[in-house]
Chain A
């Protein structure tokens, strides 16, 4: 009876539990970063940006982070810090000093030995002139009892180490994520480039810990991309679960390529490469030069850029550099021309110009060509023909350019119908194939996965350099040959159904299901379990100029290489020869009418020791079941 009065609503509302675990994925690039939550959606920060520039600027008493900070590059470049990620964990002596930077300089830390740091000028509130308890009516000559006003804030130099800068930045990212989720972030998966050394990873981990985030895993960019591309959201129904994937990450600091073997979600790197020589910085420079030339043409004001020497030109260049970010995004998103507008570019003259896709691709052509060359050399190094690449995945803002995709497909010699996000139309409109969000979403999915794992030993195997990652993998493709005399199957004398692809991590299990036609009398069907060798046959075909093309008359007929996949029968493991029990005759008037079919399911299990178990089942109640065993190596 002593309980507090509850006149209305005396039933307790059930406690509300959200199913979203408070873990996030962070794609921490050198120029841009992005964050994503568990549903693998990219989170926008307070300014509404999904692509958050990795920049921190100090202006007076204010600190700007993200794209706001980038704006400071125009007027306040000496106090704006960019490109700090790649310096994490490096010694001062390791950093090349010759770089002509447009942002705050990297200096040697005045106290810590061999440590890179940034010096920025900030306004600091000056200390109170007197302690409050000493200001009494007796000691103050002034008539007023009010304390002496503080003097103006003072300009002081502040030294920030690279690690401190990274901590500030990560903290702001996490803050954005917390604002979005409405609760404290428990852990994060952060992407790192494949070029990061162990000491750099340690430094990044430490910076994240300082920012108050538990790092669940540092994920290679290739891994982060794979975490997205192995999901069903990505593959839909059309992508084969076993495929060879080429990952192209063309960024401001270089080109990273990875050739991945994706086998039902299990992924490993067949070959990878990284080069600093090919980067989008070259595209930016070309574009700036183009617009500067256009400006000169329109206004007759000379504007030497890239490199600019005079401060006025440097400022103009910085303005253009900011403006072309927008231009590039427009080029990526819409087929029309993209504009570039800068107010008061130089000498008070405004500039508005436009560029269409074709001209843009012409400008970027050398970069595209260099990228194609890199890919070709990577494929050669891996010993894989371009024809065998099943899917291309782009990562990073430049990957949104349709020109890059079409150019690479042609120049590298990828086969027709290779899967790219552009071919599938998932790049624009917030699609799953948006190259700018792939990494962050992969990290988020990975964070949610690690968070959901309860087994301690399994969780441990996600950590860096764990030996459980090492696997044995098949070298040749296993499958079934159903013998027949069809002309298109002349090569191996039957219909070939690949089941376990080469480069599949062991142990592996695959189940395929398909229809088999049987003859009415015997209902017999036979298949050979075989290992095959796959190859490529190149056929040179002289393309005849069509008679209607009169303009091309004087052109020589072009020789075109046409590639075919070839098969060579190798080891035979056994023959399954059985009779269908559940065959059904097709009714109706179609071309299959009167024929007998049965549906079979074949399961292949390749053990870790190289043993092979094949089981063929007819789908249905008491169908025929055949088994085959191959002893381990």
Chain B
């Protein structure tokens, strides 16, 4: 639609006496300048539209309007997509809980650096570019200069004893937290250390179900354990990491999975939890002692971590329904092969016999164990009885002696 010129004038009413003159039917516009007398300057969007009108729309304004409307929509769509991509790489803005804003910057070891920068939704997946953007956003918002100005304006100091006293001395605490978070997350080594003991990860690690839980709560193998493996996958030096898969994964996939996880190569480390070397003391021995302790502690934690992962894999292997299935399939395949090849009856018999024997042996062993247990219990009983008898005898003797003495 063409631009509407809005005039401010108000036209007075037509007098009632007005009689319209008759227009001559032959009236025409004054002849325009002939073509060629005036040459447009080839500039501006108006000229482009003039050309479109002449070249594509046969001088029809309504047709041009439709075209321009479509074009504008197309550009708007293009532009909005563009803007979103350009702005913050999906950093977005997160809520800042009060407790986070009032953190003490001195306790940066226990601080969640991702939460401070508003990257909780990305955590270890955040790219350096995203960290940079997030930091810039937070700094813009929480810079002490800004706070000082805003704070003074917000709360008027109503006590005249306090005029001129800066009450907001701790104003830049959160800013310091931000600076620390940025420092940690932009240094790849420090970030790796922090990611290793990421508080949110530790929480999630707690939730990994144990064997007993799976059994007692009758959890589904895949839904219970797939997240656990996905959780640990982040620490793998080789990426991508094979996932647990589904109940119909092939033998190769299942084997590949266990193969990978039994040889799991993790970059996780525990320097973050080191005890600080006591700053005050210059004692070299002190320092060495702490360092040594830290080193052993790190090694211990790493060992624990490896054991934990190993335990998880063991657990998975022991519970994996696919292993049974694969074994069964293999057995079936073998049997089918044998049956197809030679008369399988004797073999089958031996197999069945073997199984029976095994069962019998197991039963015998169980029986033996039972018997032994019973015997042990018996022996214990006898022993106890003997002891009480001896005690009794001793007491009687003592009593007799006492009686004799009194007499």
Smallest CB–CB gap between A480 and chain B, Å? 9
* Interface presence of B41 (CB below 8 A): yes
Do A610 and B28 touch (CB < 8 A)?
Answer: yes
Do B260 and A469 touch (CB < 8 A)?
Answer: no
Interface string of A474-487 (1 = CB under 8 A from B): 11101000111110
Do B59 and A577 touch (CB < 8 A)?
Answer: no
Cα of A544 to Cα of B42 in the assembled complex, Å: 51
* Interface presence of A19 (CB below 8 A): yes
Cα of A471 to Cα of B41 in the assembled complex, Å: 11
Do B12 and A486 touch (CB < 8 A)?
Answer: yes
For B37, list chain A residues within 8 Å (CB): 473
Smallest CB–CB gap between A482 and chain B, Å? 4
Smallest CB–CB gap between B263 and chain A, Å? 11
Cα of A8 to Cα of B31 in the assembled complex, Å: 76
Do A605 and B43 touch (CB < 8 A)?
Answer: no
Do B4 and A526 touch (CB < 8 A)?
Answer: no
Partner-contacting stretch, out of B81-89, B156-164, B336-344: B81-89
Interface string of B52-67 (1 = CB under 8 A from A): 1111100101000000
* Interface presence of B50 (CB below 8 A): yes
Task: Tell me which residues from 440 to 488 in chain A have a Cβ below 8 Å from any Cβ of chain B.
Answer: 442, 445-446, 449, 453, 455, 457-458, 461-462, 466, 468-476, 478, 482-486
Q: Which residue of B lies closest to A219 (CB)?
A: B43
Query: Which one of A269, A445, A485 contacts B15 once the chains associate, using CB atoms below 8 Å?
Result: A485
Cα of A297 to Cα of B182 in the assembled complex, Å: 67
* Interface presence of B216 (CB below 8 A): no
* Interface presence of B404 (CB below 8 A): no
Given A265-B45, A449-B48: A511 touches B5 (CB 8 Å cut-off): yes
* Interface presence of A516 (CB below 8 A): yes
Q: Which residue of B lies closest to A514 (CB)?
A: B7
Query: In the complex, how many residues of chain B place their beta carbon closer than 8 angstroms to a beta carbon of chain A?
Result: 78
Given A13-B130, A507-B53: A575 touches B20 (CB 8 Å cut-off): yes
For A288, list chain B residues within 8 Å (CB): none
Smallest CB–CB gap between B343 and chain A, Å? 46
* Interface presence of B150 (CB below 8 A): no
Cα of A476 to Cα of B30 in the assembled complex, Å: 7
Interface string of A118-150 (1 = CB under 8 A from B): 000000000000000000000000000000000
Task: Tell me which residues from 357 to 405 in chain A have a Cβ below 8 Å from any Cβ of chain B.
Answer: none
Cα of A574 to Cα of B26 in the assembled complex, Å: 11
Give the one of A4, A516, A577, A601 with max B CB within 10 A. A516
Query: Which one of B2, B51, B85, B188 contacts A8 once the chains associate, using CB atoms below 8 Å?
Result: B188
* Interface presence of A3 (CB below 8 A): yes
Q: Which residue of B lies closest to A222 (CB)?
A: B41
* Interface presence of A309 (CB below 8 A): no
Query: Which one of B7, B29, B124 contacts A512 once the chains associate, using CB atoms below 8 Å?
Result: B7
Cα of A219 to Cα of B42 in the assembled complex, Å: 8
Do A514 and B12 touch (CB < 8 A)?
Answer: no
Do B35 and A466 touch (CB < 8 A)?
Answer: no
Partner-contacting stretch, out of B224-232, B234-242, B300-308, B320-328: B234-242
Do B16 and A14 touch (CB < 8 A)?
Answer: no
For B32, list chain A residues within 8 Å (CB): 472-475, 506, 610
Cα of A266 to Cα of B45 in the assembled complex, Å: 9
Do B35 and A470 touch (CB < 8 A)?
Answer: yes
Given A478-B29, A524-B14, A528-B20: A265 touches B44 (CB 8 Å cut-off): yes
Smallest CB–CB gap between A491 and chain B, Å? 16
Do A264 and B82 touch (CB < 8 A)?
Answer: no
Partner-contacting stretch, out of A197-205, A223-231, A413-421: A223-231
Interface string of A540-551 (1 = CB under 8 A from B): 000000000000
Give the one of B7, B41, B236 with max A CB within 10 A. B41
For B38, list chain A residues within 8 Å (CB): 261, 268, 470-473, 503, 505
Query: Which one of B20, B33, B52 contacts A455 once the chains associate, using CB atoms below 8 Å?
Result: B52
Do B237 and A7 touch (CB < 8 A)?
Answer: yes
Categorize the interface residue count of chain A.
35 or more
Interface string of A246-282 (1 = CB under 8 A from B): 0000000000000011001111110000000000000
* Interface presence of A581 (CB below 8 A): no
Smallest CB–CB gap between A550 and chain B, Å? 44
Smallest CB–CB gap between B45 and chain A, Å? 6
For A296, list chain B residues within 8 Å (CB): none
Do B28 and A633 touch (CB < 8 A)?
Answer: yes
Q: Which residue of A lies closest to B195 (CB)?
A: A8
* Interface presence of A17 (CB below 8 A): yes
Cα of A13 to Cα of B48 in the assembled complex, Å: 38
For A505, list chain B residues within 8 Å (CB): 38, 40, 50
Smallest CB–CB gap between A228 and chain B, Å? 9
* Interface presence of B405 (CB below 8 A): no
Given A3-B240, A475-B33, A631-B28: A19 touches B43 (CB 8 Å cut-off): no
Do A526 and B85 touch (CB < 8 A)?
Answer: no
* Interface presence of A630 (CB below 8 A): yes
Query: Which one of B31, B53, B260 contacts A475 once the chains associate, using CB atoms below 8 Å?
Result: B31
* Interface presence of B165 (CB below 8 A): no
> How many A-B residue pairs lie within 8 Å, measured between CB atoms?
275
Cα of A633 to Cα of B34 in the assembled complex, Å: 12
Q: Which residue of B lies closest to A484 (CB)?
A: B12
Do A517 and B10 touch (CB < 8 A)?
Answer: yes
* Interface presence of B122 (CB below 8 A): yes
Cα of A248 to Cα of B322 in the assembled complex, Å: 88
Do B59 and A608 touch (CB < 8 A)?
Answer: yes
Q: Which residue of A lies closest to B41 (CB)?
A: A223
Do A482 and B11 touch (CB < 8 A)?
Answer: yes
* Interface presence of A519 (CB below 8 A): yes
* Interface presence of A607 (CB below 8 A): yes
Query: Which one of B18, B31, B40 contacts A266 once the chains associate, using CB atoms below 8 Å?
Result: B40
* Interface presence of B3 (CB below 8 A): yes
Do A446 and B43 touch (CB < 8 A)?
Answer: yes
For B13, list chain A residues within 8 Å (CB): 484, 516-519, 525
Do B86 and A241 touch (CB < 8 A)?
Answer: no
* Interface presence of B289 (CB below 8 A): no
* Interface presence of B149 (CB below 8 A): no
Smallest CB–CB gap between A531 and chain B, Å? 6
Do A7 and B82 touch (CB < 8 A)?
Answer: no
* Interface presence of A295 (CB below 8 A): no
Given A474-B32, A478-B29: A469 touches B45 (CB 8 Å cut-off): no
Do B5 and A512 touch (CB < 8 A)?
Answer: yes
For A632, list chain B residues within 8 Å (CB): 28
Cα of A631 to Cα of B26 in the assembled complex, Å: 9
Query: Which one of A1, A226, A482, A516 contacts B41 once the chains associate, using CB atoms below 8 Å?
Result: A226
For B33, list chain A residues within 8 Å (CB): 472-475
Do B35 and A471 touch (CB < 8 A)?
Answer: yes
Given A574-B23, A612-B29: A17 touches B85 (CB 8 Å cut-off): yes
Q: Which residue of B lies closest to A264 (CB)?
A: B46
Q: Which residue of B lies closest to A631 (CB)?
A: B28
Q: Which residue of A lies closest to B83 (CB)?
A: A19
Cα of A142 to Cα of B27 in the assembled complex, Å: 105
Do A510 and B5 touch (CB < 8 A)?
Answer: yes
For A572, list chain B residues within 8 Å (CB): 21, 23-24, 27
Given A266-B50, A515-B11: A226 touches B43 (CB 8 Å cut-off): yes
Cα of A1 to Cα of B42 in the assembled complex, Å: 60
Q: Which residue of A lies closest to B17 (CB)?
A: A485
Do A462 and B28 touch (CB < 8 A)?
Answer: no
Query: Which one of A11, A455, A509, A522 contacts B127 once the chains associate, using CB atoms below 8 Å?
Result: A11
For B35, list chain A residues within 8 Å (CB): 470-472
Q: Which residue of B lies closest to A261 (CB)?
A: B38
For A486, list chain B residues within 8 Å (CB): 12
* Interface presence of B262 (CB below 8 A): no
Which 8 pairs across A and B sit closest by C-beta, in order of nearness? A265-B46, A227-B43, A223-B41, A575-B20, A9-B127, A514-B7, A476-B30, A482-B11
Contacts A462-B47, A514-B9 aside, 11 further interface pairs with beta carbons under 8 A come to A3-B240, A7-B267, A9-B124, A219-B42, A230-B44, A261-B38, A267-B44, A483-B15, A484-B12, A515-B10, A517-B12
Q: What are 13 A-B contacts with C-beta separation under 8 Å?
A: A1-B241, A19-B86, A230-B46, A265-B44, A266-B40, A268-B38, A469-B39, A470-B35, A503-B38, A515-B10, A605-B61, A608-B54, A610-B32
